[in-house]
């Protein structure tokens, strides 16, 4: 399995709105396209197991980051995180 390692800000634009999500660069090449995939992720040291990476139809996948996860990270929209994402 290919692990994607990157830094990116929390917040992804979709149809003119900013969503609380982490966009995964290079994800279409790694995962294919058009379907959600299950991934394991480590974001700033916080392990997320078996979460959905959602295909946007706009070229990349995104992992939703709800309030609870952002609180654990201590970060909000626009703040950069270090992430490692591996498809299951």
C-beta separation of 6 from 45 below 8 A: no
Residue 70 maps to which CATH number? 2.40.30.100
The structural domain count of the chain equals 1
**How does pLDDT run across 50-79, given as a tens digit for each residue?**
999 998 776 789 999 999 999 999 999 999
Phi, psi of 48 (to 5 degrees): -120, 115
Q: Which two tokens stand for residue 5?
A: 């390692």
Give the Å distances, CA to CA, from 13 to 10, 29, 58, 62, 86. Answer: 10, 20, 10, 10, 23
d(CA 21, CA 54): 10
Taking the complete model, does pTM exceed 0.85, yes or no?
A: yes
- For the chain, how big is the Rg over CA atoms in Å? 12
What is the domain extent for residue 15? 4-87
């Amino acid at each position: 399995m290919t692990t994607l390692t990157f830094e990116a800000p929390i917040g992804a634009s979709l149809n003119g709105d900013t969503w609380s999500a982490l966009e995964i660069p290079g994800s279409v090449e790694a995962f294919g396209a058009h379907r959600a995939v299950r991934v394991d992720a480590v974001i700033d040291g916080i392990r997320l197991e078996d979460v959905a990476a959602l295909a946007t139809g706009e070229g990349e996948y995104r992992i939703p980051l709800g309030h609870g996860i952002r609180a654990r990270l201590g970060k909000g929209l626009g703040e950069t995180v270090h992430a490692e994402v591996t498809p299951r």
